[in-house]
A = this chain, B = another copy of it.
Amino acid sequence: MSTIKDIARHAGVSVATVSYVLNNTRYVSPDKRERVIAAVQELNYVPNAAARGLRVRESRTIGLIVSDISNPFYPDLAKACEDVAQQYGYAVHMINTNDQPERMRQAVSQAREGKIDGLIVTTALEADRELLQSLLDREFPVVLAHRRLEGLDADLIESDNYEGGMLAARHMLALGHRRIAFLSGVAGSPISERRVAGYLQAMREAGIDVLAEWVLPGEAKYANSYERMVQYADMAPDTRPTAIINVSDIGAMGVLDAAADRGLRVPEDVAVMGFDDLFLAAFRSVRLTTVRIPRYELGRQATELLLKRIGKAKTERRHVVLPVDLVVRKTCGSEQADG
């Protein structure tokens, strides 16, 4: 493994000159420049990242925190993050927290060790607030993506969850439904809460009193949503909700399967919607009507913003809200069925 000294010796110049041509940081005569370049080629030289990092105090690496990369919501976001990071010459550390604060602590540690120059957090939990705040206090670049943490003064890229909730409810209302349920996520999830709020608003506008039993918190996962749907299915047909909005597509799959298992036809007996617009929502056998969340864009913009932040420290905090849209397919039996 050759070092800058080897190059200098080989090219008959000083190490300073080598550094200057490598980083284009000062004029060097064409002659020497060429000799340096030749030497680099010849010795197959690659600068050592640790040495450079130690000197200039940067790692050219960013951290990406997700709760669980095997949750199909995240891969697109992660892809976007890596795509833009790569483009700017940054590497990305992927960290799965599994929602354990302990893992978040390790991420913060990496930040403080200088292993990463900035952090994208897609899964900011209440339990992480203090940790994240400590980073912010040190002016360490942090951007929240997808999930907000109320009151934390960090950049935030999210999607319009409130609007999404409204869109979903209004769609069901327009189809003539009145008893519309919302299977939300865990209590305290701001994403879920915003969506519920939008739903409630649309219901209010329609003059409908929302029964407590229509808003069932739980996990946005398949199994838990399945169970919640079973409860509905067991209610009397004239009181049972005729429409179910699930806070995630994966959950909506659980709803769909529970309905089928209980002999309920979709959309005739019960209409179903999800959130996210995962790839699987488009399969012919699924055709899930859903609210599309721009996952790639979330990741892209979060990374762009973080990189900007890393460059020139103190800019005003940014809060961007990406638009969502309704994707009408078959599970609500809409007029706009798309084959």
Contact = CB atoms under 8 A, between A and B. Distances in A.
- Say which size band chain A's interface belongs to: 35 or more
B76 A70 contact: yes
A49 B284 contact: no
A41 interface: no
How many copies of this kind of chain does the complex include?
A: 2
Contacts of A53: 50, 53
Interface in A99-150: 103, 106, 109-110, 112-115
A34 interface: no
A78 B200 CA distance: 38
A286 B253 CA distance: 11
Given A92-B94, A112-B46, A68 B61 contact: no
A79 B51 CA distance: 30
Given A61-B115, A86-B106, 18 more contacts: A1-B112, A47-B113, A49-B59, A50-B59, A53-B53, A54-B54, A64-B94, A68-B79, A70-B76, A70-B79, A71-B75, A78-B94, A86-B103, A91-B93, A92-B93, A92-B94, A260-B285, A285-B285
Interface of A: 1, 46-51, 53-54, 57, 59, 61, 64, 68-72, 74-76, 78-79, 82-83, 86, 91-96, 103, 106, 109-110, 112-115, 222, 253, 256-257, 260-261, 279-280, 283-286
